[in-house]
């Protein structure tokens, strides 16, 4: 019998608790608004204080229930089968989008849209009564119901935000990634001479219908020997390249000491020089100089524009 890597307990009790709490918040808001609308202009701070107290007192309980709802999933030590893939940035972005949708009940993420919508609802609860009191009697009579509805929407938005934000025991096995973090490095590599293709290298693990995406990094293939040589990049939190690592696919090619890992500063000139060294190293072992003449000429033309001391910033 195949062991399922993720098991779940019933989420129904927590769903019911969240539903009851949100409805209770809406009912209290309706009842409170009926009284507060009568004395709104006499004591405007009373409504603001009471509404803020209601929302702030309910949010911790809602947050706890949302976290318990998410934490009902448990990991059972999956046996991942890993493989390495190289994909374009567009394909990587699509993979991350599908990954986040598929495992939103497991991974931790910040949804800024939910923050915006919940903030709008909160401000509307506080400010809307002052605006509606200047309209006609019919609209004023519906003000408590309107505020109650907005408070219910606010409760659902807050609960869903906490559900997505807080982690459970599973996220270490399902790390999240930001494709935009890699865009700067890949765009930088694509514009250099001697680069055939630039994208993202990542490790994909699969286990019993689940999959995980790990260790993504920018990568570039060398023109003319794209099947035999590549460079991998380490980046910082801003997406800037901090380290370049040259690789040959064949173990028969032993890099010379000149072909060492390049660290900061990383510039178009330093990378172009590294690519030229990699091509020469390949030719030293395999031959075929005439095939690579055009590539070496392009790199040479690029480097000839700059003195050794006049390197471009990244």
User: How many CB atoms are closer than 10 A to CB 83?
Assistant: 10
CA end-to-end span of the chain, whole Å?
54
Residue 190 to residue 25: CA distance in whole angstroms: 54
Strand, coil or helix: what is 177? coil
Give me the pLDDT at residue 120, please. 95
Strand partners, 207: 210
Give me the pLDDT at residue 262, please. 62
Give the largest Cα separation in the chain, rounded: 91
Give me the pLDDT at residue 35, please. 82
Cα dihedral 12, 17, 22, 24 in deg (nearest 10): 140
User: How many CB atoms are closer than 10 A to CB 157?
Assistant: 21
Strand residues in 40-153 grouped as ranges (E)? 73-75, 81-87
Which of 102, 128, 127, 115 minimizes the C-alpha distance to 157? Answer: 115
Give me the pLDDT at residue 28, please. 92
Give me the pLDDT at residue 2, please. 44
Give me the pLDDT at residue 314, please. 44
Residue identified by tokens 């090619």 is 253
Strand, coil or helix: what is 268? helix
Domain positions in the chain: 6-170, 180-304
Residue 306 to residue 68: CA distance in whole angstroms: 60
Residue 12 to residue 16: CA distance in whole angstroms: 6
Assess contact for 191 and 273: CB atoms under 8 A.
no
Q: Show the low-confidence residues of the chain (pLDDT under 70).
A: 1-10, 73-75, 169-171, 254-264, 288-289, 306-314
Give me the pLDDT at residue 263, please. 60
């Amino acid at each position: 019998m195949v062991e399922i890597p993720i098991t779940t307990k019933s989420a129904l009790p927590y769903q019911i608790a969240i539903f009851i709490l949100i409805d209770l918040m809406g009912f209290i808001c309706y009842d409170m608004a009926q009284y507060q609308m009568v004395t709104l202009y006499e004591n405007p701070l009373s409504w603001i204080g009471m509404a803020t107290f209601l929302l702030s007192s309910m949010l911790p309980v809602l947050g706890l229930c949302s976290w318990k709802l998410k934490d009902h999933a448990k990991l059972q030590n999956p046996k991942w089968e890993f493989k390495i893939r190289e994909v374009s940035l567009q394909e990587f972005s699509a993979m991350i989008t599908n990954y986040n949708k598929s495992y939103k009940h497991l991974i931790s993420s910040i949804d800024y849209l939910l923050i915006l919508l919940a903030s709008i609802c909160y401000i509307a609860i506080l400010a809307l009564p002052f605006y509606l009191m200047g309209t006609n009697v019919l609209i004023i009579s519906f003000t408590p119901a309107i505020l109650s509805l907005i408070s219910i929407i606010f409760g659902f938005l807050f609960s869903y935000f906490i559900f997505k934000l807080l982690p459970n025991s599973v996220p270490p096995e399902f790390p999240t990634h930001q494709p935009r973090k890699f865009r700067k490095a890949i765009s930088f590599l694509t514009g250099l001479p001697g680069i055939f293709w630039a994208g993202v290298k990542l490790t994909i693990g699969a286990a019993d219908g689940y999959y995980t995406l790990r260790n993504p990094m920018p990568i570039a293939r060398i023109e003319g020997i794209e099947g035999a040589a590549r460079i991998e990049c380490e980046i910082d939190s801003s997406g800037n390249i901090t380290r370049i690592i040259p690789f040959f696919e064949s173990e028969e090619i032993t890099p010379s000491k000149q072909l060492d890992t390049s660290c900061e500063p990383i510039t178009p000139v330093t990378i172009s020089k590294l690519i030229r060294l990699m091509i020469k190293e390949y030719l030293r072992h395999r031959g075929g100089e005439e095939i690579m003449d055009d590539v070496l000429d392009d790199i040479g033309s690029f480097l000839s524009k700059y003195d050794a001391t006049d390197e471009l910033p990244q």
